[in-house]
A = this chain, B = another copy of it.
């Protein structure tokens, strides 16, 4: 990850390799397993129809088994949502950290974080993150508390990099910047189109310019 001598620093970490390692370490479910297939189907259905509207019968039909058989893999329907959200946060956090590790300078790291979050929201795992955000309140209270621990870890990476990028700003200003950035980035999933003219790298730089005045300073 630090061998810049052999391979030049990439703007984005190798997502497939990262995922493969996490599967090997047992941190996320192997997509090839029955449980993995079920989780993938759940992500797609929960995103398209919402958690409440998706029935265990829909879920079973999506992977070609009977509804009762679901409960061999999960004890309850909420447990499926919990698993989806947990694995999503795990993967997203790992990618965020990997993105930051590609660079030395705080400003470069910040750009990488923005790029990473854009990728998470608009890339291949977009459905999972969408479920995580939109169906969060469907989780039982106990699940929410448990998962908040992971979420705080994700936020800590952002705050650390932002502090070092804008050391002159007080903590509460850093907080506001993080939130405004998060909003601008999250919202892209409602309008950004990968097939359009604007690519994610360019969009990342536009947003980056909002947080780091310096050279260009603003939009355009």
Contact = CB atoms under 8 A, between A and B. Distances in A.
Contact of A183 (B53, B169, B172, B185): B185
Given A52-B52, A197-B172, A211 B219 contact: yes
A93 to B, nearest CB: 19
Interface string A177-201: 1011111111110111000011000
Contact of A169 (B179, B181, B198, B220): B220
Interface string A122-146: 0000000000001001100000000
A217 B220 contact: no
B187 A182 contact: yes
Nearest to A211: B219
A138 B52 CA distance: 10
Say how many copies of this protein the assembly contains: 2
Interface residues of A, number: 36
A192 B179 CA distance: 9
Contacts of A187: 179-180, 182-184, 186-187
A106 interface: no
A181 B219 CA distance: 12
A219 B208 CA distance: 12
A53 B50 contact: no
B183 A198 contact: no
A90 interface: no
A213 B207 contact: no
A143 to B, nearest CB: 15
A173 interface: yes
A213 B217 contact: yes
In the A-B complex, list the 10 residue pairs whose CB atoms are closest, starting with the nearest: A183-B187, A52-B52, A213-B218, A183-B184, A180-B184, A183-B183, A184-B184, A179-B191, A210-B210, A173-B220
